[in-house]
């Protein structure tokens, strides 16, 4: 038992030491998962637990204009890419062909990417009358299926020629899915249906102009209804390992399951106000679904303004200004034979596409060209390097750890490469210290696979919150005492840049903490009172400190910025103190606020009017009042001052002080003089008046005491305003109350409580 008590005492002592930490030094935690934007990552990734690890490099590719709105990206060399992916080989040629569906001109472009040169070329391969070419599928023989909107039509192009067009009874074709028997499924919107395309019949259908006919006509052209849903749109299709067809809808965002032969669907998950933006099958028979939830139906891809209105030919077309996306996106895992599980959610960000890289999920998104990921083993979300464009709305694998990414606003292509990077770098968002201050050391909690000497850190500061203006140049932080620091850095806001050499292959860097000393602000006098004289104070005992503490105090010791509440306890005790009559005693009370919570001491001094010598009545006291006797002071007016000084733990060289000129104090022990009295009777009323004058103070009132026991106090003067050293007071007493009285004692008193009296006979 003694050992257990000793252990408990040591734990309690350590907790008290934590809670009583130096209140002057502030700590700002840098959570890299929260404080680094996707576009400010290069060769690095951040995790939702705040750590930094190796990641991809995002490169914007150069090339000619593809279109104003880029909808869909499909590999044209899919077989070669799949072979490379399975064999883990590197393509020596280095060029890849992709199809891009565009709007509002309804064109399909073939893009040839040369990753080695970070460039691409463009060749038009299809042009449809509809404004949007949304869905694409490359066939093994080189032909292309094109699905359009706002009129749902399926086209077959080969070698630039339109071989077939079959209009469907819907508004849009959103997705294609190739099946193992050689047929292709087409997902439509308004209504939400799925059609199976028999490619042999479809190729012989020819070009059908206008709108769709009946089901028999469609069947004759090789288009057969596979299934339909009650929701308005079938947005995405996928085939899982057991042969089932998975469909995702909008505007509800439901997930459906069809058998391999079609028919009525089963609902795997019901949602509302959502859109299924992508489905990703897994080898184990399960799949992932990416969903976006929003209260409105506005397009997540902003439409550019007329490019002819651009200021210059070399500038990208301007984009309509629209409010940022205010919904949320989520990734749901549907295990084979299990219940769906939400694994990742992002507020105010719209997801677009899902892919796989090794064991990670890869997601492209907007509003700021974000790229995210999810690690199923660590069960953590990831942030990857993103683009300067605002939206990454499609991606396609290149088979060797590289992905081609379709970007919008400004439209173009990007390359995301997970290969070892020549330079790895991140830059944090603008971090707020809370108030201006001086930066101290920056420390990392832990590092794995790399030491502090392998890092390069730079920082810049700003006293303003503007993202572009007012920043200092980047300053290198030097390694000192296991931390990174530089002298003379001041500001309220800071940005941190972290660089890691290419030699670091596998590492994990934990969160960082930057220490700072906030600007020392001067104390402010918020209240000063000179109480009425002749009152004494009996101070109440201070409230005893709590013998226990809460878990909140242990987990969040800096919720009060480390400020000691001792001053508040003293003020609370003082305000609960008793005030008693004490002739010759004077109380002066004040309240001083210190924005930084510094310990303060006070010196209160007075000097008589006409002299320069100050007398200290309280020196270096921590109390916010002083009580003293006035018997030893000559009568007259005294000037007062209050000197406030900061104390420990503030270092002596940093302590601030200030002397406040406070209210004047009047010492008056001389009673007023009565100059006239009178008593008259009329209409049943006895009127008694008294006039008087005081040499130093304002008069306060008069008291009239009849010798029959009637007593009346009058504080309202005859002229209506109690504002002078000379006043006249009148008491009106009914004859019934004055019956039997033959004299009255009149007492005249001033503000300090001095009084004089006289007796007046009554007739």
Q: What is d(CA 432, CA 435) in angstroms, rounded to the nearest whole number? A: 8
pLDDT on residue 329: 96
Question: In the sheet where 685-693 sits, what is the strand order?
Answer: 673-682, 685-693, 726-734
Q: Does the pLDDT of residue 689 top 70, yes or no?
A: yes
Average pLDDT of span 580-585: 91
pLDDT on residue 424: 93
DSSP letter assigned to residue 552:
H
| pLDDT tens-digit series, residues 469-494 | 999 999 999 999 999 999 999 999 99
Please tell me the chain's helix, strand, coil percentages from 3-state DSSP, rounded to the nearest 5.
Answer: 10, 50, 40
Domain 524-539+577-667 matching CATH 3.40.50.1980: the answer reads no
96 pairs with which residues across the strands? Answer: 113
Residue 82 main-chain phi, psi, to 5 deg: -65, -40
Q: Does the pLDDT of residue 353 top 80, yes or no?
A: yes
| 682 or 324, higher pLDDT | 682
Residues 704, 688: contact at Cβ < 8 Å? Answer: yes
Residue 549 Ramachandran class (φ > 0 left, ψ -120 to 50 alpha, else beta): beta
DSSP letter assigned to residue 7:
H
CB atoms within 10 A of CB 111: 24
685 pairs with which residues across the strands? Answer: 682, 734
Q: Does the pLDDT of residue 251 top 60, yes or no?
A: yes
The model's confidence at residue 19, banded by pLDDT at 50, 70 and 90, is very low
Q: What is d(CA 572, CA 625) in angstroms, rounded to the nearest whole number? A: 13
Q: What is the mean pLDDT of the chain?
A: 88
pLDDT on residue 307: 42
Average pLDDT of span 575-584: 88
Residue 83 main-chain phi, psi, to 5 deg: -65, -45
| pLDDT tens-digit series, residues 89-134 | 444 445 789 999 999 999 999 999 987 788 999 999 999 999 999 9
Average pLDDT of span 350-360: 94
The model's confidence at residue 558, banded by pLDDT at 50, 70 and 90, is low
| 554 or 627, higher pLDDT | 627
Q: Does the pLDDT of residue 421 top 90, yes or no?
A: no
| pLDDT tens-digit series, residues 597-641 | 899 999 999 999 999 999 999 999 999 999 999 999 999 999 999
DSSP H/E element including 86: helix 78-87
pLDDT on residue 742: 93
Residues 157, 108: contact at Cβ < 8 Å? Answer: yes
pLDDT on residue 313: 39
Is-same-fold flag (524-539+577-667; 673-761)? yes
Question: 3-state DSSP call for residue 6?
Answer: helix
Closest CA to 724 of 672, 652, 676: 672
The model's confidence at residue 565, banded by pLDDT at 50, 70 and 90, is low
| Domain locations in the chain as residue ranges | 430-518, 524-539+577-667, 673-761
Long-range contacts made by residues 732-735, C-beta under 8 angstroms, separation at least 24?
A: 732/685, 732/686, 732/687, 733/685, 733/686, 733/687, 733/688, 733/704, 733/706, 734/684, 734/685, 734/686, 735/681, 735/684, 735/685, 735/686
Q: Does the pLDDT of residue 11 top 70, yes or no?
A: no
Average pLDDT of span 174-192: 96
Task: Kindly report which listed range (12-16, 63-67, 464-468) carries the lowest average pLDDT score.
Answer: 12-16
Q: What is d(CA 81, CA 593) in angstroms, rounded to the nearest whole number? A: 69
| 136 or 86, higher pLDDT | 136
Residues 391, 367: contact at Cβ < 8 Å? Answer: yes
| 88 or 696, higher pLDDT | 696
Q: What is d(CA 167, CA 195) in angstroms, rounded to the nearest whole number? A: 12
pLDDT on residue 302: 52
Q: What is d(CA 374, CA 383) in angstroms, rounded to the nearest whole number? A: 9
pLDDT on residue 95: 72
pLDDT on residue 568: 64
| 523 or 301, higher pLDDT | 523
pLDDT on residue 367: 80
Report pTM. 0.78
Closest CA to 604 of 583, 621, 585: 621
Residues 44, 52: contact at Cβ < 8 Å? Answer: yes
Q: What is d(CA 281, CA 240) in angstroms, rounded to the nearest whole number? A: 5
Average pLDDT of span 282-303: 79
| pLDDT tens-digit series, residues 26-84 | 999 999 999 999 999 999 999 999 999 999 999 999 999 999 999 999 998 755 444 44
pLDDT on residue 17: 40
Task: For the chain, give the percent of residues with pLDDT over 90.
Answer: 75
Q: Does the pLDDT of residue 557 top 80, yes or no?
A: no
Q: Does the pLDDT of residue 16 top 70, yes or no?
A: no
Task: For the chain, give the percent of residues with pLDDT over 70.
Answer: 89
The model's confidence at residue 316, banded by pLDDT at 50, 70 and 90, is very low
| 343 or 116, higher pLDDT | 343
CATH of 673-761, picked from 1.10.510.10, 3.40.50.300, 2.60.40.10, 3.40.50.12780, is 2.60.40.10
pLDDT on residue 326: 87
pLDDT on residue 228: 96
CA distances from 121 to 61, 114, 251, 617 (A): 10, 8, 37, 88
Q: Does the pLDDT of residue 725 top 70, yes or no?
A: yes
| 301 or 612, higher pLDDT | 612
Measure CA of the first residue to CA of the last residue in the chain; give whole Å: 91
Q: Does the pLDDT of residue 310 top 50, yes or no?
A: no
Residues 668, 754: contact at Cβ < 8 Å? Answer: yes
| pLDDT tens-digit series, residues 222-247 | 999 999 999 999 999 999 999 999 99
Residue 534 main-chain phi, psi, to 5 deg: 70, 25
pLDDT on residue 324: 74
Long-range contacts made by residues 267-273, C-beta under 8 angstroms, separation at least 24?
A: 268/334, 268/340, 269/332, 269/334, 269/340, 273/327
pLDDT on residue 436: 95
The model's confidence at residue 366, banded by pLDDT at 50, 70 and 90, is confident
């Amino acid at each position: 038992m003694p050992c257990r008590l000793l252990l408990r005492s040591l734990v309690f002592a350590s907790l008290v030491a934590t809670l009583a930490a130096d209140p002057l030094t502030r700590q700002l935690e840098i959570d890299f998962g929260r404080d680094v934007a996707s576009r400010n990552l290069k060769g690095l990734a951040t995790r939702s637990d705040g750590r930094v690890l190796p990641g991809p490099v995002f490169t914007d590719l150069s090339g000619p204009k593809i279109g104003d709105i880029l909808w869909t990206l499909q590999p044209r060399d899919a077989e070669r890419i799949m072979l490379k992916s399975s064999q883990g080989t590197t393509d020596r040629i280095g060029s890849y062909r992709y199809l891009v569906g565009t709007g509002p001109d309804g064109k399909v472009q073939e893009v040839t990417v040369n990753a080695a040169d970070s460039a691409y070329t463009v060749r038009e391969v299809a042009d449809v009358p509809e404004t949007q070419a949304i869905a694409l599928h490359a066939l093994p023989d080189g032909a292309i299926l094109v699905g359009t909107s706002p009129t749902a039509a399926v086209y077959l192009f080969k070698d630039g020629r339109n071989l077939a067009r079959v209009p469907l009874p819907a508004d849009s074709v959103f997705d294609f899915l190739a099946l193992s028997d050689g047929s292709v499924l087409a997902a439509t919107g308004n209504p939400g249906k799925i059609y199976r395309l028999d490619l042999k019949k479809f190729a012989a259908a020819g070009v059908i102009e206008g709108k769709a006919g009946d089901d028999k006509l469609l069947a004759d052209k090789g288009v057969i209804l596979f299934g339909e849903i009650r929701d308005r749109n079938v947005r995405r299709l996928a085939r899982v390992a057991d042969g089932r067809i998975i469909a995702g809808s909008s505007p509800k965002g439901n997930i459906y399951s069809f058998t391999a032969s079609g028919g009525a669907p089963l609902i795997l998950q019901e949602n509302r106000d959502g859109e299924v933006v992508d489905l990703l099958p897994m080898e184990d028979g399960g799949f992932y679904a990416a969903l976006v939830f929003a209260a409105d139906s506005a397009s997540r891809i902003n439409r550019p303004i007329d490019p002819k209105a651009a200021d210059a030919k070399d500038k990208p077309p301007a984009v309509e200004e629209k409010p940022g996306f205010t919904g949320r996106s989520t990734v749901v895992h549907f295990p084979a034979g299990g219940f769906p599980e939400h694994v990742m959610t992002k507020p105010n960000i719209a997801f677009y596409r899902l892919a796989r890289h090794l064991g990670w999920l890869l997601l492209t998104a907007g509003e700021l060209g974000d790229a995210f990921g999810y690690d199923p083993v660590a069960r953590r979300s990831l942030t990857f390097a993103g683009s300067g464009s605002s939206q990454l709305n499609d991606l396609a694998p290149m088979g060797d750890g590289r992905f081609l990414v379709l970007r919008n606003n400004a439209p173009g292509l990007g390359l995301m490469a997970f290969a070892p990077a020549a330079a790895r770098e991140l830059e944090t968002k603008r971090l707020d210290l809370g108030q201006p201050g001086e930066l101290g050391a920056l420390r990392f909690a832990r590092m794995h696979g790399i030491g502090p000497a392998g890092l390069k850190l730079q920082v810049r500061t700003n006293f303003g919150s503007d993202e572009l203006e007012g920043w200092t140049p980047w300053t290198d932080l030097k390694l000192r005492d296991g931390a990174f620091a530089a002298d003379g850095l001041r500001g309220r806001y800071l940005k941190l840049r972290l660089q890691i050499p290419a030699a670091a292959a596998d590492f994990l860097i934990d969160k960082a903490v930057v220490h700072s000393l906030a600007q020392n602000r001067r104390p402010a006098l918020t209240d000063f009172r000179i109480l009425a004289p002749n009152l004494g104070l009996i101070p109440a005992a201070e409230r005893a400190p709590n013998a226990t503490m809460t878990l909140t105090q242990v987990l969040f010791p800096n919720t009060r910025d480390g400020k000691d509440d001792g001053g508040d306890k003293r003020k609370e005790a003082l305000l609960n103190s008793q005030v008693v009559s004490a002739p010759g005693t004077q109380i002066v009370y004040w309240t001083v606020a210190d924005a930084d919570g510094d310990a303060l001491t006070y010196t209160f001094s007075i000097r008589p009017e006409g002299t320069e010598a100050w007398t200290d009545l309280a020196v270096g006291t921590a109390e916010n009042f002083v009580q003293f006797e006035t018997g030893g002071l000559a009568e007259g007016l005294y000037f007062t001052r209050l000197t406030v000084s900061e104390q420990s733990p503030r270092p002596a060289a940093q302590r601030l002080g200030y002397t406040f000129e406070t209210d004047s104090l009047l010492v008056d022990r001389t009673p007023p003089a009565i100059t006239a009295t009178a008593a008259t009777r009329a209409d049943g009323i006895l009127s008694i008046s008294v006039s008087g004058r005081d040499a130093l103070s304002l008069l306060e009132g008069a008291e009239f005491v009849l010798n029959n026991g009637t007593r009346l106090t009058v504080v309202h003067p005859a002229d209506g305003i109690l504002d002078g050293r000379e006043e006249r007071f009148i008491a009106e007493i009914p004859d019934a109350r004055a019956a039997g009285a033959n004299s009255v004692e009149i007492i005249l008193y001033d503000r300090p409580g001095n009084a004089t009296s006289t007796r007046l006979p009554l007739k």
